[in-house]
Amino acid sequence: MVRDIAKTYGVVKALQPTSFELAHGEVHGLVGENGSGKSTAVGIISGTVSPDQGTVLIGGVDCSRHTPWESQRHGALTVFQDGSVLPELTVAQNLYLGTPVALRPSYRRVPAWAAERVREFGLERLDVDAPADALSPAERQLLEIARALMAQPRVLLLDEATSALDAAGVDVALGLMRRAADSGCAVLFVTHRLSEVFRVADRISVLRDGIWRGTHAAGSVGTVRLVELMAGASVDVEFPDRARAEEIGPAVLSARELAGIGFGPVDLSLCRGEIVGIAGADDNGQLELLRGLAGVDVPDGRLEANGHPVSSFGDAVGAGVALLSSDRRNESLFQSLPIRENLVVGVLGKLAQGGVVSWAREKGQVRESIDRFGIRLGSPEDPITSLSGGNQQKVALGRVLATDPEILLIDEPTQGVDVRSRIDIYHMLRDSARHGLAVVIVSSDASELAGLCDRVVVVSRGAVVAELDGEHATEEGIVAAFAGAESGDGRAAPAAGTEPAPEPASRRRPLSGLRRLARRHENVSRLGLLVALLVLLGAYAQAKNSTFLTTPSLYNIFLLALPLAAVAAAQFVAMFTGGIDVSVGGVMGVTVALLSFAVQGGSLIGGLLLALLIAVGFGLVVGAANATLVEKIRISPVIATIATLGILQGVGLLLRPTAAGTISLKLTNALTAKVWAVPWALIVLVVLFLVADRALRASGQGLRLRAVGLNPQFAYRLGVNAPRLRQYSYVVCASFAAVAGVLLAGQVGVGDSTVGNQYTLLAIAAPILGGASLLGGRGTLIGCLLGAILLATAQSLPTVLGLGDGASFLLTGGLTLIALLVYTSGAAMAVRTYVRTAWRKLAQGRRPPVAPARSSG
């Protein structure tokens, strides 16, 4: 039950005071146009959106904190419109993250537990050990629905949870909804597909302009009336007329024997003024074919656009081809840019005068796109994420059409779009086609293809198995064409009077295994490339100076790497959760200065304990300050920690304007003691790093930390307290940086507050060299150690080779850049090439020698 919930974003009243109830055992449909407030209502109930007013009661309990973990604890689970599956994690790990704590198994049992659970929901075809990015969008949606149901919720919220599903997938999803309702769960189903609402809902509620317009029994209202209630007026729900024969021009896109990962060989032609649909059951190569027509992933065969050969995506763009992905978050829109810039980013050249964008032209272009597409927004300067999913789709489509392409390839053009806007988009595409645009559409909605397209090409297992003329194509005929293409043994059934269609290898199964293999290779290559570079540097230096590989020389390198490895590990903690701390060098310097006052004598054990106590205490204070600036006050991590660095440098100089004060000789001797050529403190770090890396890979807490780094929004939706974990990461980072200061103090022996300055940038370079990412969620502590040793070696080489100080800086920077380029470009490209080559060999080996697919030209 919700009472008087409301939410305003700036001047936009997303949801006005609204009250309603969800009954146990019912499926409650919630419909409305884009921007009507549906997702806002779902967000408030799920705890991801904090209302301006009102109360949310789940199971009779008032959820006053409005957080996802509170809503989930009381029994509300949500499937979000833009998903919450983390593609970098395995299917099993995603299931584990989205399951309430009380229902989770021990982390060691996760794969077996996940396999058992997916079987319960009829999804045993999913490989729980495969990364989630090996799944199709439809499989991810089904996985999310199943994950929510695994939690045995009291309330299940589904926001556009069927938008990427084909007919078979929709049947499964609706069956799961009814199954949940029959078990006593209250299901709220938000969708723009009204036919699905009528199939499953017991009651239907309507939102318009953020106002609750009433609730109706599903049998008491029809489609036309429901659309009128959503729009506030009568709406023409007819498709535009198809192109007449005289409106179809010459061919502008031609593919012959086109083949790539997951599809082909395919022959296909597209004419000017024509709209061609690509249909098929989910994950049968439709999207791969669409991307192949744009030259993505460099497919085999012959591809021409406007008479120009296409061998890459760049060639396709140059020939007037535009590709619009359904993945708005990652491919279609710029999430960091406002609405205005998203609308004009593709046409800046047309808006410029003398190389400078005209403000008046840009304003006119933005206003034209907003009016033309009916985009509902508060201000063009609002972030793109402030729009509803349907309005984001309109912005994406408007951005592409503004570039005046000659060929438009579009995946799911109306995904997440309301009925009225959907009809507007249909007319927009048809009008563009009448002006000469050639359009190819991939859609999971067979009725959309039947009503809009001039031709429909049906794909099964990557091959074209049928082609239907638009006037004779019906929803039933399209579904029957791809459903009937699967025979009992899984082979594509031949059409009457034709040779059997070729059978490309199924994409996902081999690819998931290859992806896992590639990921193993990438993880190994991160460390292997560093080790190889270290060996090469060592061999070169030894060839130039025979003393380089002696015990004293190696000891000096390891000693130099010791504090760097420690502070790199500190930086890694912040980077792993998606942050950064530029103040670590300042923390080290102030720690050295403090120890020069407090640790000047006494016993070894007492001095070491006192040093660690001072360091950790000081680190806790600095870390808490950074966490407050970044997570509470919302200052950029770089800006906040640069400010902290300046303050720390000032404090250090106040404590020790010049190097002075002697640090306990017993402490310095202990911290520089060695076993052969390796300082014992470095051995301790290696052990700690191995243990910590193991914990990060093989524990639930490690998985939660990784999820926060990979995608804090998705982690938050899944009930992970991402803000708190990021706060902790800054505290741990500063504390461990202060411990690195203790190790540095053991080497300098005096209170010099400036000695930490050189580690500010090196502390960032070392983790990145070891495989960490500034985006978070990647890397290892052992990688930090190897990165630190590489940098220490680079700093030592000029002395060994008799070069000057300038050469030392140049060599350090150059080697860092080379190592980064080799890792990010060479190794990654090698792995991608390996996967592509292996796939093609596998696919070619499985294709029987049959006649090519029938040309659609």
pLDDT in tens, 498-520: 333 333 333 344 444 444 444 54
Q: What is the mean pLDDT of residues 398-414?
A: 91
| Helices and strands counted in the chain (H then E) | 31, 26
CB 131 within 8 A of CB 522: no
Res 488: pLDDT = 41
Sign of dihedral through CA atoms 800, 805, 811, 816? positive
Whether pLDDT at 493 is above 50: no
Q: What are phi and psi of 346, to 5 degrees?
A: -85, -5
Token pair listed for 845 = 């080996």
Res 233: pLDDT = 67
Q: What is the mean pLDDT of residues 580-603?
A: 95
Residue 27 CA to residue 18 CA, distance in Å, equals 19
Provide the percentage of residues in the chain whose pLDDT is more than 70.
89
Provide the percentage of residues in the chain whose pLDDT is more than 90.
53
Q: What is the mean pLDDT of residues 243-262?
A: 91
Whether pLDDT at 439 is above 70: yes
* Beta strands per DSSP E along 42-185: 53-58, 61-62, 76-79, 155-159
Whether pLDDT at 346 is above 80: yes
Pick 784 or 389 by higher pLDDT.
784
CATH code for the domain defined by 526-829? 1.10.3470
Whether pLDDT at 676 is above 70: yes
Res 815: pLDDT = 66
Strand partners, 18: 5
Q: Which CATH class is domain 2-231?
A: alpha beta
Whether pLDDT at 837 is above 50: no
Q: What is the mean pLDDT of residues 171-198?
A: 92
Sign of dihedral through CA atoms 89, 388, 99, 693? positive
Q: What is the mean pLDDT of residues 806-835?
A: 60
Q: How confident is the model at residue 421 (pLDDT cuts 50, 70, 90)?
A: confident
- Residue ranges per structural domain of the chain: 2-231, 250-320+406-499, 327-404, 526-829
Q: How confident is the model at residue 523 (pLDDT cuts 50, 70, 90)?
A: low
Q: Give CA separation, 340 vs 332, 381, 382, 591, 745, in Å.
A: 15, 6, 8, 48, 53
Residue 463 CA to residue 465 CA, distance in Å, equals 6
Res 498: pLDDT = 35
CATH code for the domain defined by 250-320+406-499? 3.40.50.300
* Burial class (CB within 10 angstroms; exposed 0-12, middle 13-18, buried 19+) of 101: exposed
Q: What is the mean pLDDT of residues 484-504?
A: 41
Beta-carbon count within 10 A of 297 CB: 15
Pick 667 or 494 by higher pLDDT.
667
Whether pLDDT at 340 is above 80: yes
Residue 718 CA to residue 68 CA, distance in Å, equals 7
Res 422: pLDDT = 83
Q: What is the mean pLDDT of residues 252-275?
A: 92
Res 237: pLDDT = 65
Res 620: pLDDT = 97
pTM score: 0.81
Q: What is the mean pLDDT of residues 559-580?
A: 96
Query: 526-829: same fold as 2-231?
Result: no
Token pair listed for 343 = 């609308």
Res 821: pLDDT = 66
Average model confidence (pLDDT) for the chain? Answer: 86
Res 843: pLDDT = 45
Strand partners, 457: 278, 467
Pick 613 or 447 by higher pLDDT.
613
Burial code (b: 16+ CB inside 10 Å, e: under 16) for 559-594 equals bbbbbbbbbbbbbbbbbbbbbbbbbbbbbbbbbbbb
In tens, the pLDDT along 735-772 reads 999 999 999 999 999 999 999 999 998 999 899 888 88
Nearest to 423 by CA among 470, 373, 385: 373
Res 26: pLDDT = 96
